Amino acid sequence: MHETLKKIMPPPAKSSGMTNREFSLFSQFIESTCGIRMPDSKKLMLESRLQKRLKHLGIGTFQEYYDYLVSKQGLRDELVSMIDVVTTNKTDFFREAAHFTYLTESVLPRIPKIEQQNGIKVWSAGCSSGEEPYTLAMTLSEFARNNLGFRYSILATDICTEVLKSAHRGIYDEEKIAPIPQLLKKRYLLRSKDRSRCIVRVCPELRSKVTFRRLNFMDETFDVESPFRIIFCRNVIIYFDRETQEVLLNKFCRHLLPGGYLFLGHSETLNGLNVPLVQVNSTVYRKLA
């Protein structure tokens, strides 16, 4: 490094490992702000994810980082970035594909014609980088092609600002779109003019059907325009404890129409939870009328 720069720049901070006490501070804080459980088995993962923030901020120890995070300034300037690194955002187009077949064959045809024509509202809750809401948009647009007058809109929310940015852009690597059927790729995706870049973009008509917003499920009330006919909340509640799951699912129910549908991830279950829902298919539930 140039001598003058050496004088101006502070030496790079070297961070030491996370102690058990620090881990417990972070895990309690994370669980209370975004519901995500951090059992001891996640210590190494949390340490390496938070390390990125320490490095970025030039902070040397986890204790210093924690003190900053919970300070007035940290809650204002750092909380969102901390949440961005601790969320797990794995997703795919047509993930758990049976849900989209069930939607087309059993859910949509049963919705009263008048409601279909007024427009049905769908919420992808915990939408990550957009693959789930765009899969929904393709499925609903296909249904609309065969059912004249069918209209829909999709709200897609997530707590993580980084994934929301890429969801909004709607640009994906070619390998990401492998699960999309060929016909739908042709209809709804645009190739980059520069063929050496192996990327595609969701077409504007489909993008215009999805509104992306940041929303934290731990918020007391959800500022969303409800009620919805269908809510997809898949592979999200698995990270929460049973009590938080029950509170959240009851909140979803308040935003669902009577008889509305809730889709959960394949490893998520309502067993033992006190919620006004009945199971109608594997991990698909209906709100009691």
Ligand X SMILES: C[S@@+](CC[C@H](N)C(=O)[O-])C[C@H]1O[C@@H](n2cnc3c(N)ncnc32)[C@H](O)[C@@H]1O
Distance CA 47, CA 138 (A): 39
Minimum CB–partner distance for residue 244 and ligand X (Å): 9
Per the structure block, which two tokens stand in for 216?
């934290």
Cβ 159 vs Cβ 83: under 8 Å: yes
Angle between helices 20-34 and 43-57 (to 10 degrees): 90
Q: Which residue in the list 49, 92, 187, 201 is annotated as catalytic? A: 49
Amino acid at 98: A
Of 142 and 158, nearer to ligand X (C-beta) is 158
Closest by CA to 225, choosing from 141, 153, 286, 276, is 153
Give the nearer residue to ligand X in terms of CB position, either 84 or 116: 84
Residue 280 to residue 65: CA distance in whole angstroms:
47
DSSP type of residue 220: S
**Least distance to ligand X from the beta carbon of 28, Å?**
15
Q: Is the dihedral of CA 204, 210, 215, 216 positive or negative?
A: negative
Q: In angstroms, what is the minimal distance from the CB of 11 to ligand X?
A: 34
Q: Tell me whether the omega of the peptide bond preceding residue 112 falls within 30 degrees of 0, making it cis.
A: no
Residue among 84, 158, 207, 229 flagged as catalytic: 158
Compare residues 64 and 92 and give the one whose CB is closer to ligand X: 92
Taking the CA atoms of residue 173, residue 175, residue 179 and residue 185 in that order, the dihedral angle to the nearest 10 degrees is 50
Residue 31 or 115: which CB sits closer to ligand X?
A: 31
Smallest gap, in angstroms, from Cβ of residue 246 to ligand X? 15
Q: Strand pairing of 199-202 and 189-191?
A: antiparallel
Residue ranges in contact with ligand X by CB under 6 A: 34-36, 87-91, 95, 126, 128, 132, 158-160, 163, 215-218, 234-236, 265
Cβ distance to ligand X smaller for residue 30 or 107: 30
SS3 169: helix
Active-site annotation holds for 158: yes
Q: To the nearest whole angstrom, how small is the minimum distance from the Cβ of residue 156 to ligand X?
A: 9
Q: Any idea which residues carry the catalytic annotation?
A: 49, 158
